[in-house]
């Protein structure tokens, strides 16, 4: 009895040269479709994701266009897809991940715009996470201030009490130092006058 492997949903991010994508968009998409169809993959969605400056040069190119593709395929065929991508002259890089956890709304969502990506408004970007952390800290500070105000400034009274205790301790140490100097001065004065 032959077992049939279930096709799983995958997310492929394909990187192509921006100049080539601009000049021959249909050819680039056709190259990706051909690779996936040879691997018997069913394309669910394919769209331009973004056009960005590369962090480092790839094959002498400094800008790249990212193409986001969702497809269903047999897991055993992913190696064939990756090999075909490496041999392709149109695709510079590709990253293929399992997307079984993706919802239909994630797949159907339109590509982000360049403006959104520069501003960090895409969900789960480091800029967005930092912004959320700042909002949480600000909310915590506001809640603390509100709680102190409701207690009638009890927090300020505690701080004032602590400051006054510190000043008393400081005053005591100054008084002790002055007493010590007075004792030393009187002993040296007495010794100098022949009293002892």
Is there a domain that residue 187 lies in? no
Mean pLDDT is lowest, of 32-41, 104-113, 172-181, for 104-113
Domain of residue 15, residue span: 8-122
Q: How many angstroms separate the CA atoms of 63 and 57, rounded?
A: 8
Whether pTM > 0.85 for this model: the answer is no
Is there a domain that residue 106 lies in? yes
Please check the confidence at residue 93 and state whether its pLDDT lies above 80. Answer: yes
Is there a domain that residue 50 lies in? yes
Measure the N-to-C terminal CA separation of the chain; round to a whole number of Å: 117
Q: What percent of the chain lies above the pLDDT cut of 70?
A: 58
- Closest by CA position to 114, among listed 105, 124, 122, 125: 122
Please check the confidence at residue 85 and state whether its pLDDT lies above 90. Answer: yes
Q: What is the pLDDT of residue 106?
A: 65
Q: What is the pLDDT of residue 152?
A: 66
Q: What is the pLDDT of residue 30?
A: 93
Q: How many angstroms separate the CA atoms of 82 and 36, rounded?
A: 10
The per-residue pLDDT for range 108-148, each reduced to its tens digit, is: 665 444 444 444 444 454 555 556 666 777 777 777 777 77
15 or 164, which is more confident: 15
Q: How many angstroms separate the CA atoms of 196 and 181, rounded?
A: 17
| Number of independent structural domains in the chain | 1
Mean pLDDT is lowest, of 68-72, 76-80, 177-181, for 177-181
Q: What is the pLDDT of residue 56?
A: 92
Q: What is the pLDDT of residue 142?
A: 79
Return the structure tokens found at 93: 């890089």
Stretch (H or E) spanning 56: strand 42-58
Compute φ and ψ for 21, nearest 5 degrees: -65, -40
Is there a domain that residue 189 lies in? no
Phi-psi category of residue 99: left, alpha or beta, with phi > 0 → left and psi -120 to 50 → alpha: alpha
Is there a domain that residue 37 lies in? yes
31 or 166, which is more confident: 31
Is there a domain that residue 194 lies in? no
CATH number, domain with residue 92: 3.30.70.60
Contacts of 125 (CB under 8 A, 6+ apart): 117
The per-residue pLDDT for range 174-191, each reduced to its tens digit, is: 666 666 666 666 666 566
Q: What is the pLDDT of residue 146?
A: 77
Question: Taking a C-beta distance cutoff of 8 angstroms, is the pair 50, 66 a contact?
Answer: yes
Compute φ and ψ for 87, nearest 5 degrees: -85, -15
99 or 195, which is more confident: 99
Is there a domain that residue 12 lies in? yes
**pLDDT band, very low/low/confident/very high, at 100 (cuts 50, 70, 90):** confident
Is there a domain that residue 81 lies in? yes
């Amino acid at each position: 009895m032959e077992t049939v492997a279930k096709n799983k949903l995958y997310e492929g991010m394909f990187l192509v040269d921006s100049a080539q994508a601009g000049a021959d968009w249909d050819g680039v998409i056709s190259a990706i479709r051909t690779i996936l169809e040879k691997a018997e993959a069913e394309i669910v969605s394919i769209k331009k994701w973004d056009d960005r400056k590369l962090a480092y040069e790839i094959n002498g190119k400094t800008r790249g266009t990212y193409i986001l593709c969702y497809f269903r395929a047999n897991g055993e065929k992913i190696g064939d897809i990756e090999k075909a991508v490496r041999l392709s002259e149109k695709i510079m890089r590709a990253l293929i991940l399992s997307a079984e956890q993706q919802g239909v709304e994630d797949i159907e969502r339109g590509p982000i715009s360049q403006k959104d990506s520069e501003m960090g408004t895409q969900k789960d970007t480091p800029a967005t996470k930092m912004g959320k952390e700042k909002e949480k800290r600000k909310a915590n500070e506001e809640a603390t201030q509100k709680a102190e105000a409701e207690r009638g400034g009890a927090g300020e009274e505690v701080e004032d009490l602590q400051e006054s205790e510190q000043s008393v301790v400081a005053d005591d140490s100054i008084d002790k130092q002055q007493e010590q100097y007075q004792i030393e001065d009187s002993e040296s004065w007495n010794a100098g006058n022949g009293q002892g």
